[in-house]
């Protein structure tokens, strides 16, 4: 995918003209609220927000002509890891690279993500500092990227999927505590949430079961006790934070849903009981089919993954797509997410094709990445649709993605907060 790079100077210049009224002329507009394609529309923007959407003349000093394009709300990826990208070297890089190395990578991956049409992301796990600082730098126009909602360091139990010392030699393993995201018992669970709040996290990410890429044998066993989950979620709610739960196995999902998590990430081995519980509690599924396809493919390459990871990638990865089909047909709420950082940053939109192949209509897939994602973020008043009063986050593609969902893999125009970061050809 060809990327049009922008400079900070361009962004600052655009910001200086923020008071100007901008008219974006679209050949078609996807109205995700009514699930319809409207035909020609003019979107008026001022001070980074949408003033109006109409079919009337614009009469402003600045017009952006997208009369050959379909306009959509900026896309939202609810599961990314901006500080990393999978490679055969991933498992050794933590011993060789400094936090600054990962920070520079994160800045690059954030820009790539924005230019691919994703104007907001949820970052679900890093060292606890990098994406928080990157989020702040983007807000201050020091760096270029999407709106970042970060969980900081994911929470795990000792030896759990997000225990940062898994797989290292005994002398380095130590006994990480709540500050490092490892909790055992109710008191530590509460402390870990409060620590994330203190550090400036936007939400909490827990690893409710084993995982595929951690250097541990089991990829699906439950890894928190019920009282620990309840303590995490109650404390997070007190601090105004939502909770996302990585989960592959059924029992871990059941515990997390009953305890009150807001989303299940992956949900690979979801059972009928789990689907019923998710519907009852209004729990979102963030499916990450792309990550499943990616790890299953790479598992067949000798040396790409450690041998303890390889069988998990082979067995769990291919099941994500089928589970998504069952969840969607059962009426489980779906929010778009890719786990990018497992797959390559910038390839996020490939998830749409997989969702459609799995039985979701194109409009519903787009809604999952816009209005549904905004709801799960708790940002429905600001994001998720091209509507008066919301942030001016718009993208455009040449053609109609309802007829060809793969058009979203080649976004031609990107605007975030009224600033153009990628200009249509």
Predicted local confidence at residue 296, as pLDDT: 86
- Go through the chain and tell me how many residues it has: 425
Predicted local confidence at residue 67, as pLDDT: 92
239 pLDDT tier (thresholds 50, 70, 90): very high
Burial class (CB in 10 A: 0-12, 13-18, 19+), 205: buried
Is 149 part of a structural domain of the chain? yes
How do strand 75-80 and strand 284-286 relate by DSSP bridges? unpaired
298 pLDDT tier (thresholds 50, 70, 90): confident
Neighbouring CB atoms inside 10 A of 400's CB total 16
Q: What are phi and psi of 140, to 5 degrees?
A: -90, 5
Q: Over the stretch 89-120, which tens digit does the pLDDT of each residue have?
A: 877 777 788 899 999 999 999 999 999 999 99
Predicted local confidence at residue 220, as pLDDT: 74
Q: How large is the average pLDDT for residues 301-308?
A: 86
Q: What are phi and psi of 199, to 5 degrees?
A: -80, -10
- pTM, entire model: 0.92
111 and 37 part of one domain = no
Q: Over the stretch 131-173, which tens digit does the pLDDT of each residue have?
A: 999 999 999 999 999 999 999 999 998 766 766 656 666 767 6
Predicted local confidence at residue 58, as pLDDT: 64
Predicted local confidence at residue 5, as pLDDT: 47
Q: Look up the domain containing 33 and give its range.
A: 8-73+385-422
163 and 15 part of one domain = no
Is 3 part of a structural domain of the chain? no
Q: What is the rounded distance in angstroms from the CA atom of residue 412 to the CA atom of residue 224? A: 44
Higher pLDDT, 336 or 3: 336
**Alpha carbon 140 to chain centroid, angstroms:** 21
Neighbouring CB atoms inside 10 A of 301's CB total 10
- Write down the residue that tokens 């550090």 correspond to: 199
Q: How large is the average pLDDT for residues 58-79?
A: 91
- Asked if pLDDT for residue 3 goes beyond 70, the answer is no
15 pLDDT tier (thresholds 50, 70, 90): very low
Closest CA to 111 of 70, 141, 153, 152: 141
Predicted local confidence at residue 160, as pLDDT: 67
Closest CA to 340 of 394, 286, 303, 393: 286
Q: What is the rounded distance in angstroms from the CA atom of residue 381 to the CA atom of residue 389? A: 8
Is 2 part of a structural domain of the chain? no
Q: How large is the average pLDDT for residues 300-318?
A: 84
139 and 218 part of one domain = yes
Q: Over the stretch 345-355, which tens digit does the pLDDT of each residue have?
A: 999 999 999 99
Q: How large is the average pLDDT for residues 397-424?
A: 96
- Asked if pLDDT for residue 13 goes beyond 50, the answer is no
- Locate all alpha helices (DSSP H) within 289-417, ordered by sequence: 289-298, 310-316, 319-329, 350-357, 362-368, 371-377
136 and 208 part of one domain = yes
Write the DSSP assignment of 50-105 as a string of letters: EEEEESS----SEEEEEEEEEEEEPEEEEEE-TT----TTHHHHHHH--HHHHHHH
Q: What is the DSSP letter of 225?
A: -
Q: Over the stretch 266-282, which tens digit does the pLDDT of each residue have?
A: 999 999 999 999 999 99
- Asked if pLDDT for residue 416 goes beyond 50, the answer is yes
55 and 92 part of one domain = no
- Write down the residue that tokens 């797989």 correspond to: 167
400 and 265 part of one domain = no
Through-space distance between the first and last CA atoms of the chain, rounded to whole angstroms = 14
Q: Over the chain, what is the mean pLDDT?
A: 90
Is 332 part of a structural domain of the chain? yes
- Write down the residue that tokens 């928080």 correspond to: 132
Is 1 part of a structural domain of the chain? no
The domain total for the chain is 2
Is 272 part of a structural domain of the chain? yes
Of 361, 377, 393, the residue that ends a domain is: 377
Is 289 part of a structural domain of the chain? yes
Write the DSSP assignment of 144-183 as a string of letters: ---EEEE--SPBB-TTSTT-TTTTS-HHHH----GGGTB-
239 and 228 part of one domain = yes
177 and 237 part of one domain = yes
Q: Which two tokens stand for residue 234?
A: 């109650």
Q: What is the rounded distance in angstroms from the CA atom of residue 220 to the CA atom of residue 209? A: 5
Q: What is the rounded distance in angstroms from the CA atom of residue 257 to the CA atom of residue 259? A: 5
161 and 110 part of one domain = yes
Higher pLDDT, 64 or 222: 64
The domain that contains 115 carries what CATH number? 3.20.20.140
Burial class (CB in 10 A: 0-12, 13-18, 19+), 16: exposed
Is 266 part of a structural domain of the chain? yes
- Asked if pLDDT for residue 51 goes beyond 80, the answer is yes
Q: What is the rounded distance in angstroms from the CA atom of residue 110 to the CA atom of residue 138? A: 9
Predicted local confidence at residue 203, as pLDDT: 98
- Asked if pLDDT for residue 41 goes beyond 80, the answer is yes
- Asked if pLDDT for residue 178 goes beyond 80, the answer is no
124 and 60 part of one domain = no
Contact 321, 293 (CB under 8 A): yes
Q: What are phi and psi of 45, to 5 degrees?
A: -130, 140
Whole-angstrom Cα Rg for the chain: 21
The domain that contains 54 carries what CATH number? 2.30.40.10
Q: pLDDT over 90 for what percent of the chain?
A: 72
Left (φ > 0), alpha (ψ -120 to 50) or beta: where does 10 sit? alpha
390 pLDDT tier (thresholds 50, 70, 90): very high
Q: Which two tokens stand for residue 295?
A: 């790890």
Q: pLDDT over 70 for what percent of the chain?
A: 89
28 and 51 part of one domain = yes
Q: What are phi and psi of 411, to 5 degrees?
A: -70, 130
Mapping DSSP to helix (H, G, I), strand (E, B) and coil, where does residue 339 land? coil
400 and 327 part of one domain = no
Q: How large is the average pLDDT for residues 232-257?
A: 96
Q: Over the stretch 180-238, which tens digit does the pLDDT of each residue have?
A: 779 999 999 999 999 999 999 999 999 999 876 665 666 678 889 999 999 999 999 99
Q: Which two tokens stand for residue 374?
A: 């905004």
């Amino acid at each position: 995918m060809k990327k049009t790079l922008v400079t900070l100077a361009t962004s600052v210049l655009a910001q200086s003209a923020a008071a100007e009224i901008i008219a974006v002329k679209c050949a078609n507009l996807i109205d995700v609220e009514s699930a319809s394609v409207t035909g020609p529309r003019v979107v008026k923007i001022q001070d980074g927000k949408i003033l109006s959407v109409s079919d009337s003349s614009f009469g402003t000093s600045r017009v952006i002509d997208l009369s050959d394009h379909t306009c959509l709300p900026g896309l939202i990826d609810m599961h990314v890891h901006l500080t990393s990208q999978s490679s055969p070297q991933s498992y050794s890089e933590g011993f060789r690279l400094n936090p600054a190395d990962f920070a520079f990578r994160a800045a690059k991956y954030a820009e790539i993500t924005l230019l691919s049409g994703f104007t907001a992301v949820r970052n679900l796990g890093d060292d606890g500092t990098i994406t928080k600082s990157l989020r702040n730098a983007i807000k201050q126009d020091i760096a270029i990227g999407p709106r970042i909602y970060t969980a900081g360091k994911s929470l795990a139990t000792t030896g759990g999927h997000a225990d940062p010392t898994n797989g290292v030699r005994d002398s380095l393993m130590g006994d990480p505590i709540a500050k490092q995201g490892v909790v055992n018992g109710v008191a530590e669970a509460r402390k870990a949430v409060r620590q994330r709040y203190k550090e400036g996290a936007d939400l909490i990410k827990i690893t409710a079961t084993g995982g595929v890429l951690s250097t541990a044998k089991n990829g699906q066993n439950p890894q928190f006790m019920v009282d620990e989950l309840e303590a995490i979620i109650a404390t997070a709610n007190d601090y105004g934070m939502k909770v996302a739960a990585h989960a592959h196995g059924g029992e871990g999902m059941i515990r997390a849903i009953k305890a009150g998590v807001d989303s299940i990430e992956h949900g690979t081995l979801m059972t009928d009981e789990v689907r019923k519980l998710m519907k009852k509690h209004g729990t979102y599924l963030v499916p990450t089919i792309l990550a499943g396809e990616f790890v299953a493919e790479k598992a067949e390459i000798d040396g790409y993954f450690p041998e303890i990871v390889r069988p998990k990638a082979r067995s769990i990865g291919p099941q994500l797509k089928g589970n998504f089909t069952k969840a969607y047909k059962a009426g489980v709420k779906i929010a778009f997410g890719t786990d990018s950082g497992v797959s390559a940053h910038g390839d996020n939109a490939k998830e749409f094709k997989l969702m459609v192949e799995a039985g979701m209509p194109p409009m519903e897939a787009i809604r999952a990445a816009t209005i549904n994602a905004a709801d799960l973020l708790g940002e429905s008043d600001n994001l998720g649709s091209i509507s008066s009063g919301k942030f001016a986050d718009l993208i455009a593609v040449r053609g109609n993605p309802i007829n060809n969902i793969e058009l979203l893999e080649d976004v031609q125009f990107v605007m975030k907060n009224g600033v153009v970061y990628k200009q249509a050809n």
